[in-house]
Amino acid sequence: MSDYQAPLRDILFALDTFCDLDEIAALPGFEHADRDTVAALVEEAGRFMADVVAPTNRVGDEVGARLVDGEVVTPPGFADAYGRYVDAGWGGVPFDPEYGGGGFPWAVGLVLQEILTSANMAFSMCPLLTQGAIDMLSHHGSTEQKQTYLPKMITGEWTGTMNLTEPEAGSDVGALRTRAERAEDGSYRIVGTKIFISFGAHDMAENIVHLVLARTPDAPPGTKGISCFIVPERLVGDDGSLGERNDVRVASIEHKMGINGSPTCVLSFGDDGGAIGYLIGEENAGMAYMFTMMNNARLSVGLEGLALAERAWQPTLRFAHERLQGRAPGAPRGESSPIVEHPDVRRMLLTMKAYIDAMRALLYLNAASMDRAAHHPDPDVRERSQELVDLLIPLSKAWSTDLGSVVTSLAIQVHGGMGYVEETGVAQHYRDARITSIYEGTNGIQAMDLVGRKLPMRAGGVVADHLGRMREVLDRLDGELSDAGVQLAAAIDATEAATRSVLERGAADPSDALAAASPYLRILAVTTGGWLMARQALAARDAAAGARSDDERTSLEGKVAVARFFMEQLLPEVHGLVPAATAPAAGLYAVDPSVLAP
């Protein structure tokens, strides 16, 4: 047993409210994804992940992955759980039926990914990296490459990796040095070193399909000279059988702050003359190909923030009800109160829950917009949906991963001293969450992407449409939601002014936009969260009027209360960030770095 259970009621509410499952199921190819089918699928996933995957979380942290005689050994229980995961077919649910996938919407796949990641984030890294490799090959692989690799990767029998980072080329991918030389048979010989490769080697699958960025001898410098290659751990015969080991070895695995069950490998390619690789698409197009999968990858990393926040929330709420300490206001003298009755603990719990609901709303909306952008029959809807995806991706990744650290830290705080010791388990979630704001482009890079690429879309028209969309909900915020509506209106006004400032000053001096990037991203994300929580409040209020049971009504009324808390107490953060988002870059350079030395 574990302390995690999938929050099915919250998940289905978010799917209904922010994805509109009925509309998604009406899109071409998704007719089988009706609400009842999806609900049954999510329920079964929740049972499987709680029973099979979640119990491996603690041992994964305590034992970790190990390098033994040049081979990576995963923690006890990982290989068995992964085998059962493959047998159940969970990895293929959102992928192309032509290659054995289930053909479900990406929004449904994201839900399953949330449950898996909450169950064990370190374990989930293996399917997550495989998902990215599948996405890349689906878009850019040749017919032969797809037929060779996708069926086994979609089932999970073979796993995948993405090999970008090198010792001297972190976020600056254009500085990579791994080289690829063409052989007479049309394949390539890959030589170089890659670092930070999650599940770059392990004992859970019979083959690992590495996607490797490298340079051909006559490639131009920088990102324009990067190509992408398939480098299987074991070579694949014409009949699909596995052959000899490729020239790839594990040089070491990292000793990390968290996600200890996930082997983060240093991989050496070509120590014995060159690893055999196969070019994807055309030479020098590798970075362009990578960008086609970037939105999905960044959404998935943002989801890790939500998943760990949910995993930390559940035991924290139980602890707050069970832990007796002090006397709460109004409690009988001589009796200790559950700490949930203390105002400051109640504030922390509401903050955790409000952020979790807001993250889930944002991420699910983003995934559903991806489905519309890819499958809606109306080209105008596809275009507008893709614009919304592009705008929301930096928020989904950066804000959600920042909040993952905030919420898991609050979990420790609610536990008090017991949270700081490892025995209670909540410290692991905080340690695991910290990497997420670094993955897939640090959050500073997400902010730069927002102000440099996304705000200027359609000359500012895309963000203007988004602000207008948020204003549409204001007229409905009446009655007990009136004060929340006032706060949301003020936040939208502040966000609009900050947006105008960033666009105008950035056009004159890009340094000003870059200096404003991180606080501006937070402004737009928090305001978007407030808009989504307004939608949550309205949907829950309407549904509560027709609730079929007292339990359902109580749950929906709780949704309204949590949304109000977000809009009335968390949303005003926007106003404190405006000065930082509208200040010129000169303030960052007013002090010489040498003055900061001790």
Catalytic residues: 440
Chain centroid, CA 220 distance in Å = 33
Taking every pair of Cα atoms in the chain, the longest distance, rounded to a whole number of angstroms, is 87
- Whole-Å CA distances, 579 to 361, 451, 490, 511, 520: 28, 16, 15, 16, 10
What is the DSSP code (8-state) at residue 201? S
Q: Are strands 207-214 and 158-163 parallel, antiparallel or unpaired?
A: parallel
- Whole-Å CA distances, 18 to 353, 359, 369, 536, 592: 17, 12, 10, 8, 47
User: Are the C-beta atoms of 120 and 58 separated by less than 8 Å?
Assistant: no
Q: Output the CA angle 316-317-321, nearest 5 degrees.
A: 115
* Residue 267 main-chain phi, psi, to 5 deg: -110, 135
Burial 116-138 (b: 16+ CB within 10 A, else e): bbbbbbbbbbbbbbbbbbbbbbb
Q: How far apart are CA 31 and CA 104, in angstroms?
A: 9
Non-local CB neighbours of 569 within 8 Å, separated by 6+ positions: 350, 351
User: HEC states along 382-419?
Assistant: HHHHHHHHHHHHHHHHHHHHHHHHHHHHHHHHHHCHHH
Q: How far apart are CA 139 and CA 289, in angstroms?
A: 8
Torsion angle in degrees (nearest 10) through CA of 204, 205, 209, 210? 20
Q: Is 397 exposed, middle or buried (0-12, 13-18, 19+ CB in 10 A)?
A: buried
User: Are the C-beta atoms of 154 and 133 separated by less than 8 Å?
Assistant: no
Q: How far apart are CA 74 and CA 204, in angstroms?
A: 8
* Residue 368 main-chain phi, psi, to 5 deg: -65, -35
User: Are the C-beta atoms of 173 and 143 separated by less than 8 Å?
Assistant: no
User: Are the C-beta atoms of 233 and 153 separated by less than 8 Å?
Assistant: no
In angstroms, the first-to-last Cα distance of the chain is 51
Radius of gyration of the chain (CA): 24
- Establish how many alpha carbons lie within 13 A of residue 180's alpha carbon, considering only the half-sphere containing its beta carbon: 26
Question: Which residue(s) pair with 554 in the sheet?
Answer: none
